[in-house]
């Protein structure tokens, strides 16, 4: 059994200016996106598209800007609506207090979808072509976020058998109970494994929207599994007790179903990803 190593959440302190590790993981996520997106330009169909619809580094920079706005706005609104709707209904101004913490992946994903729709529309690119480009570049950023969760000692797991070699005590939980390091599980599943599978799948040209569909299915399935080992939020424990599933799992169910429907729709539609058409 291991004990959580107390890590100072502040990476650099210069006078009143404090740079937190969690903020650095966001920067790492954005840097990884830029690196992978530039490699993605060499994949089909993007490498073969010529003329006004051709893809370039400028597209990546613009998509990242739109995506950052979408993930922050969507992640915050999603947390307020999905996890604490009653509280923020009576304290609406605190929705803007992002420095207090509280972000939702599912909300952030919806925010990214909306932001990329605006981007595609403004550039005249097919929406699903944009989403298929972005999808394989996202999991490493999710992995970076889980590293930040571990450094902060938050989102710890459920109680585990103390004999489990990697079981860990998180004093922040208010007890000395051995727990699953669920942040590490999510890092491995939603981050590394999803990235490898999705990157390999996306290297070959697919029907338009199928790469996005596989992302929805893969993330939803891996997150659903990881939630069995993650301690539900205290104020949402009732949902787990009454239904047997956590809020995170309930949010993953429509995500997986949407991914399956989208993949089948794309297969039946049969539109090659390189086909130019209005976005």
Give domain status of residue 279, yes or no.
no
124 lies in which domain range? 2-269
CA distance 239 to 252: 15
Report the residue count for the chain: 279
Bridge partners, residue 178, by sequence: 169
Per-residue pLDDT tens listing for the chain (279 residues): 799 988 888 888 888 888 888 889 989 999 999 999 999 999 988 988 888 888 999 999 999 999 999 988 988 898 898 888 888 888 888 888 776 667 788 888 899 999 999 999 999 999 999 999 999 999 999 999 999 999 988 889 999 999 999 999 999 888 999 999 999 999 999 999 999 999 999 998 899 999 999 999 999 999 999 999 999 888 888 898 999 999 899 999 999 999 999 999 999 987 665 554 443
Helix (H, G, I), strand (E, B) or coil at 272: strand
Tell me how far CA of residue 181 lies from CA of 47, 140, 147, 222, in angstroms. Answer: 41, 19, 11, 15
Residue 277: the pLDDT is: 47
E strands in the chain: 2-3, 10-14, 17-20, 168-169, 178-179
**Is 146 labelled a binding residue?**
yes
Residue 63 near residue 113, CB atoms below 8 Å: no
Residue 271: the pLDDT is: 67
CA distance 157 to 4: 12
Give the torsion sign (CA, 80, 86, 90, 91).
Answer: negative
Residue 238: the pLDDT is: 86
Bridge partners, residue 272, by sequence: 207
Give domain status of residue 144, yes or no.
yes
Residue 100: the pLDDT is: 67
Give domain status of residue 278, yes or no.
no
Residue 262: the pLDDT is: 97
Give domain status of residue 249, yes or no.
yes
Q: Which residue has the tokens 């609506």?
A: 81
Give domain status of residue 96, yes or no.
yes
Question: In total, how many domains does the chain have?
Answer: 1
Give domain status of residue 277, yes or no.
no
Average pLDDT, the chain: 90
Tokens representing residue 234 in the block: 């205290």
For helices 247-269 and 105-123, angle between their N-to-C axes, nearest 10 degrees: 30
């Amino acid at each position: 059994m291991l004990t959580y190593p107390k890590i100072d959440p502040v990476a650099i302190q210069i006078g009143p200016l404090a740079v937190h590790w969690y903020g650095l993981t966001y920067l790492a996520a954005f840097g990884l996106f830029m690196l992978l997106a530039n490699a993605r330009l060499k994949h089909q169909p993007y490498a073969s598209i010529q003329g006004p619809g051709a893809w370039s580094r400028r597209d990546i920079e613009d998509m990242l800007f739109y995506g950052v706005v979408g993930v922050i706005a969507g992640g915050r609104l999603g947390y307020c609506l999905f996890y604490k709707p009653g509280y923020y209904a009576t304290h609406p101004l605190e929705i803007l207090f992002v420095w207090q913490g509280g972000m939702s992946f599912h909300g952030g994903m919806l925010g990214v979808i909306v932001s990329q729709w605006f981007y595609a529309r403004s550039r005249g690119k097919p929406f699903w072509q944009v989403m298929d480009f972005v999808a394989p570049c996202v999991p490493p950023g999710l992995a970076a976020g889980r590293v930040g969760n571990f450094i902060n000692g938050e989102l710890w797991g459920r109680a585990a058998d103390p004999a489990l070699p990697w079981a860990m005590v998180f004093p922040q939980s208010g007890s000395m109970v051995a727990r699953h390091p669920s942040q590490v599980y999510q890092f491995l599943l939603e981050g590394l494994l999803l990235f490898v599978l999705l990157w390999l799948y996306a290297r070959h040209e697919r029907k338009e929207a199928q790469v996005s569909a596989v992302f929805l299915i893969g993330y939803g399935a891996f997150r659903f599994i990881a939630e069995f080992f993650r301690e539900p939020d205290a104020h949402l424990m009732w949902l787990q007790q009454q239904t047997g599933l956590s809020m995170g799992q309930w949010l993953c169910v429509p995500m997986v179903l949407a991914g399956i429907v989208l993949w089948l729709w794309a297969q039946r539609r049969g539109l090659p990803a390189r086909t130019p058409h209005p976005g």
